[in-house]
Amino acid sequence: MPRRIVVILGHPDLSPKRLCRALADSYAEGARSAGHEVRRIDVARLDFPLLGSMQEFQHGMVSPDIKDAAEAIRRAEHIVFVFPLWLGTMPALLKGFLEQVMRPGLAFAYPKAGKDGSLTTLLKGHSARLIVTMGMPAPIYRFWYLGHGVAGIRRNILNFVGIGPVRESLFGMVESVSDARRRKWLAAMHALGKSAR
């Protein structure tokens, strides 16, 4: 059954040579070839400010680009984030974007006065995949560092607003990857896109 998918490219570098861009393209092409509806968001092309206070987070203006992205996320059934691992986690630009689109009223709602105090998650029922590239071997990141930065994104951001399950695809040693291995990775993303996983 066709699904609505949003592919969010979180690499700050707009160069077409970036592996993240190729992985995002391959996933999106696979999804479209299977009849899924795909929307692409390239975070580096959006215009939005960084949030500087709790007041801005809770009540600040929402830029048109963020409003559009938040609506695409809300409409989607499956969300794919593609980004490089920088200093153990996502790049600052992607973090700034998530702080904007995961704000109150967009991704969750505070409890009303007199209620039991629990948040309302507005993205419940959405699934996600994190596609992450890195310079170190992926097994070392996963087992030695326990995938700390990626696990934090899953648990502290995505699960917090109701997104789950969240699956991961980690690609390591990307600077020295052979053309054959790169083609294998792209084929794997194409297959995941077709299955909308």
pLDDT at residue 62, as a whole number: 95
Written as tens digits, the pLDDT of the chain (197 aa) is: 899 999 999 999 999 999 999 999 999 999 999 999 999 999 999 999 999 999 999 999 999 999 999 999 999 999 999 999 999 999 999 999 999 999 998 999 887 755 666 788 999 999 999 999 999 999 999 888 888 899 999 999 999 999 999 999 999 999 999 999 999 999 999 999 999 99
pLDDT at residue 76, as a whole number: 97
**Calpha distance 126→137 (Å, rounded):** 30
**Calpha distance 65→169 (Å, rounded):** 27
Domain ranges of the chain: 4-195
Measure Cα distances from 147 to 26, 88, 139 in Å: 24, 8, 9
CATH tag for 4-195 (out of 3.40.50.360, 1.10.3720.10, 3.40.190.10, 1.20.140.150): 3.40.50.360
Question: pTM, whole model, 2 decimals?
Answer: 0.94
pLDDT at residue 60, as a whole number: 92
pLDDT at residue 113, as a whole number: 58
